[in-house]
Structure 1
Amino acid sequence: MYGIAFIFILLLYIAIYYAYDTYSRIFKRGFLEELISIIKINCLLAVTLTFSMFVFQEGTAYSRLFFLTFFTLNILINYLARLYFKFFLLAVYKKSGSSSKLMIITTLDKAKEVLDRIRKENDWEYQVTYLTIVDRQLIGDWIEEIPVKANLVNMYEVARQEVVDEVFIYLPNDSSLSIDLDETILEFVNMGVTVNLSINAFGLKVREKIVREISGYYALSFSTRLLKESQKHLKRVMDVAGGIVGCILTLVLIVFLAPAIKLESPGPIFFSQVRVGKNGRRFKIYKFRSMDLDAEKRKEELMNQNEMEGFMFKMKDDPRLTKVGKFMRKTSLDEFPQFFNILKGDMSLVGTRPPTEDEFLRYEGRHKRRLALKCGLTGLWQVSGRSDIQDFEEVVKLDLEYIDNWSFKLDIKILLKTVVVVLFGKGSR
């Protein structure tokens, strides 16, 4: 009987929380305000529950002490949970690689004002990584503990090299600076970086995507592709589910592949390498080792035999591959340890392939846009004749087509095509 009551309360609780959206201002409320907010919600829940029991004539079936105890504990647990939630997002998540890394473009006299306002708003989504001061030469200086790394001349080059998810432009209305905002926005958007322009609209010709609030400022946001939070969560749920299954399969494969790798070529079973992921984030990628131990040193000697035009290395009969390695490459078994990267959050099941650091450092600004979403284990170009493509620009074209047209349905389609490609031996080299 009490089990039914608990389920009913839970459903009411969810409905009330969705209706009143108490989490939208959670970081703007202090300790007392938070407690009052929770008490209000629980009082509303109690009134709704009492009315429901009266309508269905179930009031005498349940103990008043039970409900009093439930609501008292619920207020206490909810309050402590919210405090911990705030602490986690502000102290842990904000500083992690998952939070949105923000570059601020402003003038010297406005820099402190913008930083103070962002801190006052307690935005957990953003971590300000560096400043671009457009009216002074202050590279190497620090303002409010944030480094100044760029100016009006080199800001695109710095953004190409650094981890940047979003740019926030705040220029005073009376600024005498001669800045072509159309060009500035397009340069960053072409890198796959979201641009937030503090309103005033400046009469721009560039079509704004959305108007949103960023740390108390209303801004126009320009981007090649803005995924909704629900879309991001759906993609992550699929990644976690696929990552768990993939990690289990990887553990099984270790039993069979580890002895074979060791017997042919003494050394580690796994190969790890620093790769460049979403918007320039560095992470270690893992694979079953398919090459000799000196493979990276020998790569320079083989560059003149590279079959790819542009910033990617591919070679059909790579002499660095071991016999076991050739089999793993043909069947794509060497890729399985990347499921641990997916579960960790460095990669996604479907996305663009992560470049090596030396490849990334040679990118032009427009090439960085292919890293606007998380890199993936498989992607559109891998299932579009991945052994046949020999031009890096064609890879970029397919990657951008994937980013611009992303949908959950497209990810499922690519995953199914990947299975077919691997099973019929059209694997990567």
Structure 2
Amino acid sequence: MGSSYFRKLSLWLLDVICVVLSFWHATSIKALGPILSSTGSATGLTIITLVFLVTFFNFITHVNRGFMKRNATQEFGLVFLYNVYLVLGVALVMLAVKPDVSPSRTVVMLFFGIDVVVMCALRALSKLATRLVFGRESVRYHVLMIAEPTCREFVQKRFKTGSTYNVAGWLDLSGDFVQGKVGEKTIACRLESIPQHLAGKRIDDVFVAAPNATEDQVARLVDSAERLSASCHVQVVLPDPDIQGAHLDSFGEIPTVTYSSTGSKFYRYVGKRLFDILFSLAVIVVAFIPSLILSLVIYLQTKGSPFYTQSRVGLDGKHFDLLKFRSMVADANDVKKYLSAEQLREWETERKVENDPRVTKVGRILRKTSLDEFPQFINVFKGDMSVVGPRPIVDEELVNYGDRLSEFLSCKPGITGWWQVVARNDATYATGKRQELELYYVRHQSAQMDWSIIKRTVSAVFYGTGK
């Protein structure tokens, strides 16, 4: 109890420091001159309001619950929403009190931007400091994994422990019984007896992967987790939750996860292009110097142009020149010179080859990290492509889409896409899986789906899982 309250108090103090510092900086930016001028009373009232709101959110709504469990993306989302609430709260108080002088809208917007950055940075540093001071193992959450035998391999592959979780043990679920090992202790008991058998063991969370369990069995597992003073997380088998704006809802008063039929038309035709321009421009500016260095390295190894262009089919069947960093030898178009008969057959069908002998040493690194795709941001800025979309193809691949070709060509190709992050080399034209995934994106593209694809792509680049 004392430890839990201390953590809440520490996070409250951290949030108070963030909002006070951010508001002070917002009102102290001299470059904006008189536009930020406000009286001391208005500043004092705003700070008091912010401290009150921070206290309310920390101790009443528990906005910081699960602080150490959140990854960077989740933390940013929470901090962003947190600051939206803070700004709305300040606006409502000012509207109700009606002081003679209120902070200008510029100050409020500056506070919002500064506080999001400051809060994210300080939270990341506090997590790092906590792990360094107390040790990574001591601050990890101990998770008891309960899974049906058929689900265990899938969960082991997908569940990322990272620096947040420590798997305390695995129990196989079979009807009303579980068996397995937790630490050095062997467990074999009924569901309701789990707490007695784990008395004295530290269990912070219980994860349940049991799609075939009955409602009563899941309820008993939840109850057992409660008696262990642990949170219980029950896996729900659903289509990807990032597609079609999935959200918790009710339908005819029955709880559901609802998937909207299509994404926003405004996003497809306006928002997406605006995002493409801003995002590609930012990447081009940031990557300019590193790209020059990389171009020199490629030139020295291949003795050819560091860039490779190829005609690809774009929106509505229009052709454009796709840009890439060269990852192959200069005469790579002479496929018969480098590929075996078997590789040639694979090339003619899929337009790619496993362990391609034409790929250079630096090219392997570029492909592994997907850095060979970076020049395509120029294609995005020009309007030939989008950041997210189906993979741009050559004329020879059009036949694979048959009577669905016009639907496929109704969407701009992208640097990354649904096929790449879901299956990539595991989904081919021969099986029809690649076409299915590409067309799935075309039908269901949305801001939420695009953001999910970008996050997965960044993860693939960071961990070097590209091919």
- Regarding TM over 0.5, the answer is no
More relative contact order in 1 or in 2 (CA 8 Å, sep 6+)?
Answer: 1
**Could you tell me the TM-score, scaled by structure 2's length?**
0.41
**Could you tell me the TM-score, scaled by structure 1's length?**
0.44
Higher helix share: 2
